[in-house]
């Protein structure tokens, strides 16, 4: 299908983008990589009258480490994150996750911030951002605020973004030397949205797991942090009995909805399998340096 | 005369060599000409408003608002088109008793599947047509939909076409006799039911057509992405009342077809009828979303199979019952019964067994029409046969390879009949099996399997023997009343520059047909391949022929090219002999030159002969006229089909906790007769295997209970991609057919035929410790999980 007619504006500042959002309201959509938006336009699932192209906004670019944080500009493309030496050194969770995002051609265009703003519940970056205790910098061009990733995802495609706000960057606290990460995902084909996936983090000291983060995607309306499962594993050595308890807790805190190819019960089962595998990978001695 | 060229070296044959496709570069550079690349003056675009319901009466169409939208040229309904285009019936008379109601170019009064075109919106651009389409209002009365094939014939099920009395399209039985006695006497009987999910072919270039009717001379030119241009020309002529001589169909570059583009779609007739109505060119390019609900689907089958054996593993009888659902109309003109018909002809096909019985029921449903798609019935017949053979091996405790070895038709038993009545010219099952055992170290795989099982890793090995019908014979389709040529022709000509042109009725869809034709011309005329030009896909410029389907391009089209090329060479030699005053026996043509075999020297380039004939006939002896254009035709008259055979092996790992199947490796031994170009044949096989992998693991058109397709997009319909592709190793055994001098059989579909069976068997082999069997394709991770963990199936 052909996209319905729309106007197109390029902006070079957050303020200009926010002003257009205020002026056009729900009729306007931001476009960066167009990873999802272009397909929805082509299928006429979305018919905005104005596209605001934000790719030229300098302040939203780049990946940098400063003040104890890794900052990923919202316009960093998936491929930029995938290939970033800074990310690989400081936050390898993102390096582990990046290859699972669609295919190279899409990773060359789609953006980090776009994926988080769109908040597809089966996407990788929202879950990783929660698991790595990320915080989002939101701006309407005049005022900025910071929202923790755990507070950002409100429901299916619902976020804490106000109508005239943009995500400008995501800040991650630099993990300590004990912090380890694991990422695992099941998809029907390489590059598909996840059937179920999980992003894991934890401090591993002498075989003991502390401060675990277990964040699922593809299983609810938002990234789902499995806090009871975390509690079952926290402070322990991830021995079989603890893992069994953690997996059992998932039934209480995950409420998966079935999709075309996996029923809710299947997803819950797979969540348990992935938890065991993810924790095993997290605890394995040689996984992270 | 120029005789100073040194001794001509022996010229190596080009046929049989892995020559790359000369046309690939043009396509890779984006310089191809697909239908959508063709722009004509005054051209307009059509978008079809399609029924959102599987079955609904059209109460009212209100297009008033849409007609005022920018760029709109016309908005037309089915009733208007019915005045231009006659209805059509997808039935073949040799399929006795087959019934299908008349179908119109667009729905008249009633839509019978979700996706049937109801209103045509014609505008200056496709985008404008889509804009206006949103403003067309259709009032529907939703009717009950028939979706399930297993209840389609029940008395309580609504009858889609009341005039037919029930939902049965076609029923057939095959019975060699003696089946019940064989089962009664058998030591072992195994029985299993196999389900096959509906799926569809996905081409890079969607179905596309540009119809250009010129009312001044009542001539129709159609640019079409299609496999059978002459067939379409005939149909347009007859349905629109235009002389066939005044219809020209052009199929330039075709971006994949797989059988999807061998059919005559209602959309095709509607687009042509709109051009006739409007007197201007009308373009229709299907988008991906409408392709999913209008391109033919295939393979929705449920097959019950029984096999009777002796204790020592000799097959006694197969008993097969196939049920298939085909949508509301049998597809025109090849019908939707051929797939099922081939299933019941082919089951048990590789094996020597005396008794065979099969029944086929083909039923109507309110879903997309099904019809021939790459492999046509073979993937089903092969999976059923090889699935139940594996079950028998497990039941007998016998190695599956050994059980096959004991029952395969012996290589020295041909020509012969199969138990279903099929005629088999010459197959090489035993040699293929031997070749396979050279390729695949089965003992090592079994050792590894046992070792890994102990560690909780479950790998499986699946074998599939197959036969495939190719090179259809002279009677095919014509005997059933369809005007689809079984013969094909080739014209070769020498031009004044020494270039040899070849025009063939068989076209190119990306498989390399033009390349192998150029190879054949080069060898048979005696010119380098870069001196050959091939033209296909133009009914005004190529000999009348059937086109590309049923793996006939190389075997039928190639033989015509060979025969024409040989005659052109003979004409050129005679011409050279007359001109040079030498006995013709002394001359040959190689490397584009006439060679004196006595002296071993090149006497003249073919360009000199060409120039002489065209520009200086005054120098030729009186009464001698060189003929530099030759046309030859070929129809395969020896057998109904020339069967090929092969064996595939799949090696998989099944993750028993997630149900995920990892394809580790795939082996193919294939006998497609003479291999004309191993590069192209191997890639045909790999691509076809990949489509088979799609069917067995990924692809399924999912419908809800109202007959609405649930996964009709590229995001939701799972076509396997490069990332899912295993390494595929291919080997050949060559048993040339004696029905032609070329010796080539078809190679394009066997990969699709065997891959699903091999993978299904490999999965079940991996899961043997769990005593479960997966027999419903696609075998999804969830189905595997449900088999292994029944509580999840809830």
- Please tell me the distance from the alpha carbon of residue B613 to that of residue B629, in angstroms, as a whole number: 12
β-strand partners of B194? B303
Write b or e for each residue in B499-521: b if 16 or more Cβ atoms lie within 10 A of its Cβ, otherwise e: bbebbbbbbbbbbbbbbbbbbbb
Average pLDDT over residues B250-272: 97
- Please tell me the distance from the alpha carbon of residue B262 to that of residue B552, in angstroms, as a whole number: 13
Nearest-CB residue to B718 (from A4, A188, A270): A188
* Residue B456 structure tokens: 């909780």
Q: Which residues of A touch B713 (CB under 8 A)?
A: 43
* Residue B763 structure tokens: 């999965």
Can you list the alpha helix ranges (DSSP code H) found in B323-441? 338-346, 378-396, 400-407, 429-439
Searching chain A, which residue's CA lies closest to the CA of residue B284?
A1
Is A38 touching B (CB cutoff 8 A)? no
- Please tell me the distance from the alpha carbon of residue B557 to that of residue B719, in angstroms, as a whole number: 31
- Please tell me the distance from the alpha carbon of residue B80 to that of residue B448, in angstroms, as a whole number: 67
B329 touches B55 (CB < 8 A): no
Pairing of strands B247-250, B219-224: parallel
B411 touches B434 (CB < 8 A): no
β-strand partners of A29? A51
Distance from CA of A265 to the nearest CA of B (A): 6
Q: Which residues of B touch A190 (CB under 8 A)?
A: 721, 723-724
Nearest-CB residue to B718 (from A39, A189, A270): A189
Q: Whose CA is closest to B507, among B284, B256, B269?
A: B256
- Please tell me the distance from the alpha carbon of residue B529 to that of residue B532, in angstroms, as a whole number: 5
- Is B780's CB within 8 Å of A192's CB? no
Asked whether residue B8 carries a pLDDT value surpassing 70, the answer given is no
How many whole angstroms from its chain centre is CA B502?
Answer: 24
In this prediction, the answer to ipTM > 0.90 reads yes
- Please tell me the distance from the alpha carbon of residue B411 to that of residue B431, in angstroms, as a whole number: 8
Residue A4 exposed, middle or buried by CB count within 10 Å (0-12, 13-18, 19+): middle
Q: Whose CA is closest to B464, among B411, B399, B401?
A: B401
Top residue of A41, A49, A265 to mutate, by most chain B CBs within 10 Å, is A265
Is A189 touching B (CB cutoff 8 A)? yes
Q: Is B746 helix (H, G, I), strand (E, B) or coil?
A: coil
Distance from CA of A270 to the nearest CA of B (A): 6
Distance from CA of B325 to the nearest CA of A (A): 22
Q: Tell me which residues of chain B, numbers 681 to 700, contact chain A at a CB-CB cutoff of 8 Å.
A: 698
- Is A2's CB within 8 Å of B126's CB? yes
β-strand partners of B644? B468
Q: Which residues of A touch B794 (CB under 8 A)?
A: 263, 265
Is B243 touching A (CB cutoff 8 A)? no
Distance from CA of A274 to the nearest CA of B (A): 9
- Is B794's CB within 8 Å of A263's CB? yes
Q: Write the pLDDT tens digit of every residue in B181-222.
A: 999 999 999 999 999 999 999 999 999 999 999 999 999 999
B72 touches B128 (CB < 8 A): yes
Q: Tell me which residues of chain B, numbers 620 to 679, contact chain A at a CB-CB cutoff of 8 Å.
A: 657-658, 660
Is A1 touching B (CB cutoff 8 A)? yes
Searching chain B, which residue's CA lies closest to the CA of residue A185?
B658
Q: Please say whether the dihedral angle defined by the alpha carbons of residues B23, B29, B33 and B35, taken in this order, is positive or negative.
A: positive
The pLDDT of residue B794 is 74
Average pLDDT over residues B307-328: 98
Q: Which CATH architecture has domain A181-283?
A: 2-Layer Sandwich (3.30)
The pLDDT of residue B1 is 43
- Is A2's CB within 8 Å of B723's CB? no
Degrees to nearest 5, angle at CA B716 with B715 and B721? 65
Asked whether residue B272 carries a pLDDT value surpassing 60, the answer given is yes
**Band (B66; pLDDT cuts 50, 70, 90):** very high
Contacts of A151 (CB under 8 A, 6+ apart): A160
Searching chain A, which residue's CA lies closest to the CA of residue B290?
A1
**Band (B572; pLDDT cuts 50, 70, 90):** very high
Q: Which residues of B touch A39 (CB under 8 A)?
A: 715
- Is B794's CB within 8 Å of A265's CB? yes
Distance from CA of A74 to the nearest CA of B (A): 25
Q: Write the pLDDT tens digit of every residue in A246-281.
A: 999 999 999 999 999 999 999 999 999 999 999 999
- Is A190's CB within 8 Å of B720's CB? no
Reduced 3-state DSSP string for B419-466? CCCCEECCCCHHHHHHHHHHHCCHHHHHHHHHHHHHCCCEEEEEEEEE
Is B124 touching A (CB cutoff 8 A)? no
Q: Does domain A7-53 have CATH number 3.90.320.10?
A: no
Q: Write the pLDDT tens digit of every residue in A102-116.
A: 999 999 999 999 999
Top residue of B49, B655, B656, B785 to mutate, by most chain A CBs within 10 Å, is B785
> Is the N-terminal amide bond of B415 cis, ω within 30° of 0?
yes
- Is B702's CB within 8 Å of A263's CB? no
* Residue B699 structure tokens: 């692809």
Distance from CA of A125 to the nearest CA of B (A): 19
- Classify A49 in phi/psi space as left (phi over 0), alpha (psi -120 to 50) or beta: alpha
Q: Please say whether the dihedral angle defined by the alpha carbons of residues B467, B472, B477 and B483, taken in this order, is positive or negative.
A: positive
- Is B780's CB within 8 Å of A269's CB? no
The pLDDT of residue A77 is 98
Q: Whose CA is closest to B364, among B151, B200, B92, B160?
A: B160
Domain limits, CATH 3.30.390.50, in chain A: 181-283
Searching chain B, which residue's CA lies closest to the CA of residue A193?
B715
- Is B723's CB within 8 Å of A270's CB? no
Is B706 touching A (CB cutoff 8 A)? no
Kindly list the distances between the CA atom of residue B614 and the CA atoms of B390, B483, B608, B610, in Å, as whole numbers in the listed order: 66, 38, 10, 6
Nearest-CB residue to A190 (from B657, B716, B723): B723
CB pairs under 8 A between A and B: 65
Q: Which residues of A touch B792 (CB under 8 A)?
A: 263, 265-266, 269
Q: What percent of chain B has pLDDT over 70?
A: 99
Asked whether residue A189 carries a pLDDT value surpassing 50, the answer given is yes
Q: Which CATH architecture has domain A58-172?
A: 2-Layer Sandwich (3.30)
Q: Whose CA is closest to A93, among A182, A165, A1, A10?
A: A182
What is the residue-averaged pLDDT of chain B?
A: 96
* Residue B653 structure tokens: 């790992």
Average pLDDT over residues A220-231: 97
Q: What is the DSSP string of A122-190?
A: T-HHHHHHHHTT-EEEEE-SS-EEEEEHHHHEEETTEES--TT-EEEEEEEEPPPTTEEEEEEEE-SST
B224 touches B209 (CB < 8 A): yes
The pLDDT of residue B687 is 96
Asked whether residue B12 carries a pLDDT value surpassing 90, the answer given is no
Average pLDDT over residues B541-562: 95
- Is B721's CB within 8 Å of A190's CB? yes
- Please tell me the distance from the alpha carbon of residue B49 to that of residue B57, in angstroms, as a whole number: 15
Domain limits, CATH 3.30.43.10, in chain A: 7-53
Write b or e for each residue in B612-627: b if 16 or more Cβ atoms lie within 10 A of its Cβ, otherwise e: bbeeeeeeeeeeeebe
Is B36 touching A (CB cutoff 8 A)? no
Q: Which residues of B touch A265 (CB under 8 A)?
A: 792, 794
Average pLDDT over residues B448-455: 98
Nearest-CB residue to A263 (from B134, B657, B782): B782
Q: Which residues of B touch A3 (CB under 8 A)?
A: 127
Distance from CA of A91 to the nearest CA of B (A): 27
Top residue of B658, B662, B780, B790 to mutate, by most chain A CBs within 10 Å, is B658
User: Helices (H) and strands (E) in chain B — how many of each?
Assistant: 20, 31
**Band (A287; pLDDT cuts 50, 70, 90):** very low
Distance from CA of B740 to the nearest CA of A (A): 44
Is A99 touching B (CB cutoff 8 A)? no
β-strand partners of B190? B307
Searching chain A, which residue's CA lies closest to the CA of residue B719?
A189
Q: Write the pLDDT tens digit of every residue in B669-679.
A: 999 999 999 99
Q: Write the pLDDT tens digit of every residue in A50-93.
A: 999 999 999 999 999 999 999 999 999 999 999 999 999 999 99
B207 touches B222 (CB < 8 A): no
**Band (A289; pLDDT cuts 50, 70, 90):** very low
Q: Write the pLDDT tens digit of every residue in A118-167.
A: 999 999 999 999 999 999 999 999 999 999 999 999 999 999 999 999 99
Contacts of B255 (CB under 8 A, 6+ apart): B32, B34, B203, B204, B205, B225, B509, B510
Average pLDDT over residues A204-230: 97
Nearest-CB residue to A188 (from B126, B698, B710): B698
- Please tell me the distance from the alpha carbon of residue B151 to that of residue B160, in angstroms, as a whole number: 13
Is B780 touching A (CB cutoff 8 A)? yes
**Band (B10; pLDDT cuts 50, 70, 90):** low
- Is A188's CB within 8 Å of B785's CB? no
Q: Write the pLDDT tens digit of every residue in B677-724.
A: 999 999 999 999 999 999 999 999 999 999 999 999 999 999 999 999
Domains of chain B as residue ranges with CATH: 24-32+487-634 (3.30.365.10), 443-465+642-794 (3.30.365.10)
Searching chain B, which residue's CA lies closest to the CA of residue A2?
B127
Is A287 touching B (CB cutoff 8 A)? no
Distance from CA of A206 to the nearest CA of B (A): 28
The pLDDT of residue B7 is 47
Is A259 touching B (CB cutoff 8 A)? no
B636 touches B474 (CB < 8 A): yes
Degrees to nearest 5, angle at CA B48 with B45 and B53? 170
β-strand partners of B171? B361
Kindly list the distances between the CA atom of residue A32 and the CA atoms of A22, A41, A53, A85, in Å, as whole numbers in the listed order: 18, 14, 6, 23
Average pLDDT over residues A31-47: 93
Contacts of A232 (CB under 8 A, 6+ apart): A242, A245, A246, A248, A249
* Residue B683 structure tokens: 């890639």
The pLDDT of residue A78 is 98
The pLDDT of residue A1 is 84
- Please tell me the distance from the alpha carbon of residue B37 to that of residue B23, in angstroms, as a whole number: 17
């Amino acid at each position: 299908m052909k996209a319905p007619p729309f106007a197109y504006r390029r902006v070079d500042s957050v303020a200009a983008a926010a002003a257009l959002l205020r002026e056009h309201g729900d009729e306007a959509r931001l476009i960066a990589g167009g990873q999802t938006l272009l397909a929805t336009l082509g299928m006429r699932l979305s018919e905005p009258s104005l596209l605001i192209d934000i790719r030229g906004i300098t302040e939203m670019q780049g990946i940098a480490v400063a003040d104890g944080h890794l900052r990923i500009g919202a316009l960093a493309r998936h491929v930029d994150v995938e290939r970033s030496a800074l990310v690989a050194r400081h936050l390898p969770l993102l390096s582990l996750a990046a290859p699972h995002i669609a295919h190279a051609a899409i990773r060359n265009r789609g953006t980090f911030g776009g994926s988080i703003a769109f908040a597809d519940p089966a996407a990788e970056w929202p879950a990783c951002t929660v698991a790595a205790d990320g915080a989002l910098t939101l701006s309407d061009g005049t005022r900025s605020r910071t929202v923790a990733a755990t507070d950002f995802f409100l429901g299916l495609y619902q976020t804490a973004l106000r109508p005239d706000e943009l995500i400008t960057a995501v800040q991650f606290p630099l993990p300590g030397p004990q912090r380890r990460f694991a990422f695992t995902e099941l998809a029907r084909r390489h590059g598909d949205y996840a059937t179920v996936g999980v992003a894991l983090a934890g401090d591993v000291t002498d075989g003991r797991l502390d401060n675990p983060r277990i964040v699922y995607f593809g299983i609810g309306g938002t990234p789902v942090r499995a806090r009871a499962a975390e509690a079952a594993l926290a402070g322990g050595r991830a021995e079989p009995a603890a893992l069994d308890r953690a997996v059992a807790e998932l039934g209480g805190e995950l409420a998966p909805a079935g999709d075309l190819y996996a029923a809710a019960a299947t997803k819950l089962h797979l969540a348990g399998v992935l938890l065991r595998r993810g924790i095993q990978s997290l605890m394995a001695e040689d996984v992270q340096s | 005369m120029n005789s100073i060229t040194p001794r001509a070296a022996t010229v190596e044959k080009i046929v049989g060599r892995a020559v790359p496709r000369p046309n690939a570069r043009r396509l890779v550079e984006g310089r191809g000409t697909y239908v959508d690349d063709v722009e004509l003056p005054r051209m307009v675009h059509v978008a079809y408003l399609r029924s959102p319901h599987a079955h609904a009466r059209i109460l009212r169409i209100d297009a008033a608002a849409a007609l005022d939208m920018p760029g709109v040229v016309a908005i037309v309904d089915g009733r208007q088109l019915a005045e231009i285009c006659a209805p059509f019936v997808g039935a073949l008379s040799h399929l006795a008793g087959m019934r299908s109601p008349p179908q119109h170019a667009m729905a008249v009064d009633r839509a019978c599947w979700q996706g049937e075109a109801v209103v045509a919106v014609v505008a200056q651009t496709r985008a404008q047509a889509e804009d206006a389409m949103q403003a067309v209002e259709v009032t529907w009365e939703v009717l009950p939909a028939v979706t399930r094939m297993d209840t389609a014939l029940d008395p309580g099920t609504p009858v889609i076409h009341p005039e037919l009395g029930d939902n049965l399209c076609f029923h057939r039985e095959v019975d060699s006799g003696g089946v019940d006695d064989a089962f009664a006497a058998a030591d072992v009987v195994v029985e299993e039911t196999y389900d096959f999910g509906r799926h569809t072919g996905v081409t890079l270039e969607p179905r596309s057509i540009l119809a250009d009717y010129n009312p001044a001379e009542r001539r129709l030119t159609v640019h079409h992405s299609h496999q059978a241009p002459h067939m379409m020309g005939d149909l347009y002529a007859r349905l629109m009342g235009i002389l066939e001589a005044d219809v020209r169909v052009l199929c330039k570059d075709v971006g994949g077809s797989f059988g999807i583009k061998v059919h005559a779609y209602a959309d095709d007739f509607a687009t042509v009828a709109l051009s006739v109505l409007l007197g201007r060119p009308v373009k229709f390019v299907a988008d991906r979303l409408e392709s999913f609900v209008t391109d033919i689907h295939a393979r929705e089958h449920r097959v019950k199979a029984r096999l009777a054996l002796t204790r020592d593993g000799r097959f006694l009888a197969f008993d097969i019952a196939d049920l298939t659902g085909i949508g509301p109309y049998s597809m025109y003109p090849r019908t939707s019964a051929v797939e099922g018909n081939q299933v019941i002809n082919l089951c048990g096909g590789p094996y020597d067994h005396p008794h065979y019985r099969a029944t086929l029921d083909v039923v109507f449903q309110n879903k997309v029409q099904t019809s021939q798609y790459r492999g046509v019935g073979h993937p089903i017949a092969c999976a059923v046969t090889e699935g139940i053979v594996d079950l028998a091996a497990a039941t007998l405790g016998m190695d599956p390879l050994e059980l096959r070895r004991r029952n395969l038709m012996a290589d020295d038993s041909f020509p012969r009949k199969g138990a279903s009545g099929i005629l088999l010219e010459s197959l090489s099952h035993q040699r293929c099996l031997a070749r396979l055992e050279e390729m695949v170290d089965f003992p090592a795989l079994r050792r590894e399997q046992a070792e890994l099982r102990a560690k909780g890793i479950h790998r499986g090995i699946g074998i599939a023997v197959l036969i495939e019908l190719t090179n259809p014979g002279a009677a095919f389709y014509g005997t059933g009343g369809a005007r689809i040529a079984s013969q094909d022709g080739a014209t070769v000509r020498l031009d004044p520059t020494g270039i040899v042109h070849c025009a063939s009725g068989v076209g190119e869809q990306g498989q390399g047909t033009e390349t192998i034709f150029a190879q054949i011309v080069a060898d048979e005329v005696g010119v380098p391949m870069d001196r050959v030009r091939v033209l296909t896909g133009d009914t005004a410029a190529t000999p009348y022929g059937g086109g590309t389907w049923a793996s006939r391009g190389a075997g039928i089209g190639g033989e015509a090219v060979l025969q024409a090329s040989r005659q052109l060479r003979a004409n050129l030699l005679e011409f050279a002999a007359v001109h040079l005053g030498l006995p013709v026996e002394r001359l040959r043509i190689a490397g584009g030159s006439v060679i004196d075999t006595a002296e071993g020297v090149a006497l003249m380039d073919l360009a000199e002969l060409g120039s002489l004939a065209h520009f200086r006939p005054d120098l030729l002896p009186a009464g001698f006229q060189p003929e530099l254009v030759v046309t030859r035709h070929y129809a395969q008259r020896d057998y109904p089909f020339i069967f090929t055979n092969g064996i595939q092996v799949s090696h998989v790992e099944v993750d028993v906790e997630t149900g995920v199947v990892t394809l580790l490796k795939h082996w193919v031994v294939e006998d497609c007769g003479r291999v004309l170009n191993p590069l192209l044949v191997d890639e045909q096989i790999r691509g076809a295997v990949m489509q088979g992998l799609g069917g067995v693991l990924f692809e399924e058109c999912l419908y809800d209970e109202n007959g609405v397709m649930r996964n009709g997009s590229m995001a939701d319909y799972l076509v396997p991609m490069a990332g899912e592709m295993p390494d595929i190793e291919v080997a050949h055994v060559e048993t040339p057919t004696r029905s032609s001098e070329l010796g080539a059989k078809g190679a394009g579909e066997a990969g699709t035929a065997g891959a699903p069976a091999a993978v299904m068997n490999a999965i079940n082999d991996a899961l043997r410790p769990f005593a479960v069997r997966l027999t419903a394709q696609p075998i999804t991770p969830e189905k595997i999980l449900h088999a292994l963990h029944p509580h999840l199936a809830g």
